[in-house]
Amino acid sequence: MQKYFIAAAAVVIQLALGGIYAWSSFVPALISEYHLTSMQTQLIFGLTIACFTVSMTAASKVLTVLGPRLTSTIGGALFGAGHLLASQSGGSYLLLLIGIAGISGIGIGFGYICPMSTSIAWFPQRKGLITGIVVAGFGAGAVVLSNVVNAALAAGIDVLPIFGWIGVVYGVVVVAAAQFLSLPKGYEPKALGRDQNTVSEDFLRSRAFKLLSAAMFCGTFAGLLVVGNLGPMALIRGASGQLATWSVAAFAIGNGLGRLSWGWLFDRYQQMVLPLSLWALAVVVTVLTLSGLPMFLFPFVAGAIGFGFGANFVVFAATITQRFGPQGLARYYPWVFLFYGLAGISGPAMGGLLFDLSGSYQGAVWLAAIVASFGALLVRGAVTKVNPVKHERAQGWNQNATAED
């Protein structure tokens, strides 16, 4: 029974930290009340993602020393502290950047890794299922927060105190849930850390690393560009505040469902799912360019985009595991995952910049669709013509390979 309480606590932590995907709900108020530009708001969101991904490397080392309870407690405390700083910023862009992107972003990195690794330790025979459930919690985290934020803003509450409430409530929730995290008896904390051996230079130079990293960037660039600007996209098309809220929530629900569904598809169709997921994302993003799109369909399109975006956090990890084994996942996936952070810096900010320059999100949406399509083209050739790889050498996909897998 204990392991089920631990799994529930893991999902609660991920739901709280995944509220970062509700960021677009804050954007209109920050622009209208504190005169931030669209690009500035998206830099805050993008740098949050970047700090989250980069800090995971340090968090994994802390995890091996302190264990999951203390590490995730640190994450919850940082997450709450960053939002409290933002609430006292007076609208200062620099303080908002430090509080939300810097401090809270690092907190997400420390909190994110513990629920996943701890749950896997308790469910060794259900690694794929438990990982999908926990990660889906992060993907769906914006459902509750987007509704609460938009209701508060509609009631005339200033956006800065809302940051304070999030810092207190969500920080306490994460810290409280963290106290339930523990390892099975006899399980050493160091077993949770990723392999500390030096990453093979052959892998970093390999075609596998280049293609996977570029495709990870393309897929997450497109998804983050949309979700970072999703609320304003709906409002500028004439949607009501409630419909914009539903759109953000729909994206979050689709994101969570996508993380589960794409993993199921990968188990059955293997690496061909990788380019398929990127093509699917590109197609549904393109739907947003239709000027005649009925507004009542906007949440459904947002949910479909979230569904495609969620694939990025399943199929890349599954592909690396298939090619290089579990040790390869621990050793190489964090390097590929860093390109999610790079996409976080560039994707949302580019969407905001294009809007600032043109007054329209049309160009930004087309850019997202094109980048996702390019990612699909990059990996299509890689998964159709590859040679088996020796895990210990980690040479990756051979550029001159001709044999079908």
Predicted local confidence at residue 143, as pLDDT: 86
CA dist 388 and 402 (Å) reads 11
Report whether pLDDT(26) > 90: yes
Each residue's pLDDT tens digit, 241-263: 889 889 988 998 898 888 888 87
CA dist 76 and 72 (Å) reads 6
User: First and final CA of the chain: distance in angstroms?
Assistant: 42
Q: Which of 193, 209, 235 is the last residue of a domain?
A: 193
The reply to whether 233 and 213 lie within a common domain is yes
Predicted local confidence at residue 225, as pLDDT: 94
The reply to whether 182 and 202 lie within a common domain is no
The reply to whether 161 and 219 lie within a common domain is no
Predicted local confidence at residue 385, as pLDDT: 44
Other CB atoms within a 10 A radius of the CB of residue 198 amount to 7
> Count of domains in the chain?
2
Each residue's pLDDT tens digit, 110-138: 998 888 778 878 887 776 677 778 878 88
The reply to whether 105 and 211 lie within a common domain is no
Each residue's pLDDT tens digit, 37-72: 999 999 999 999 999 988 987 888 888 888 889 999
Average pLDDT over residues 274-283: 92
Predicted local confidence at residue 403, as pLDDT: 31
Instruction: Print the domain residue range for 72.
Output: 1-193
The reply to whether 156 and 57 lie within a common domain is yes
The reply to whether 20 and 157 lie within a common domain is yes
Cβ-defined contacts of 380-387 (< 8 Å, 24+): 380/275, 382/207, 382/208, 382/211, 383/271, 383/272, 383/274, 383/275, 383/319, 384/272
| Structure confidence at residue 387 as a pLDDT band (50, 70, 90) | very low
Q: How far is CA 348 from the centre of its chain?
A: 13
Query: Which H or E run contains 390?
Result: none
**For residue 65, with 0-12 CB atoms within 10 Å meaning exposed, 13-18 middle and 19 or more buried, which class applies?**
exposed
Q: Which of 162, 193, 224 is the last residue of a domain?
A: 193
Each residue's pLDDT tens digit, 175-212: 999 999 988 887 666 655 544 445 566 777 778 788 88
The reply to whether 59 and 88 lie within a common domain is yes
CA dist 83 and 160 (Å) reads 9
Residues 6+ apart with CB under 8 A from 218: 278, 343, 371, 372, 374, 375, 376, 378
Predicted local confidence at residue 242, as pLDDT: 85
Average pLDDT over residues 143-168: 93
> What percent of the chain is modeled with pLDDT above 90?
47
Cβ-defined contacts of 151-157 (< 8 Å, 24+): 153/25, 153/28, 153/29, 153/241, 154/241
The reply to whether 235 and 140 lie within a common domain is no
Q: Which of 174, 193, 212 is the last residue of a domain?
A: 193
Domain of 27, CATH number, reads 1.20.1250.20
User: Taking all residues of the chain, what is their mean pLDDT, rounded to a whole number?
Assistant: 84
Each residue's pLDDT tens digit, 70-82: 999 999 999 999 9
Predicted local confidence at residue 329, as pLDDT: 62
The reply to whether 130 and 46 lie within a common domain is yes
Report whether pLDDT(169) > 90: yes
Each residue's pLDDT tens digit, 304-313: 999 999 888 8
The reply to whether 387 and 281 lie within a common domain is yes
The reply to whether 184 and 309 lie within a common domain is no
Predicted local confidence at residue 3, as pLDDT: 87
Each residue's pLDDT tens digit, 295-345: 889 999 999 999 999 888 888 877 877 777 655 665 777 788 889 989 998
The reply to whether 109 and 144 lie within a common domain is yes
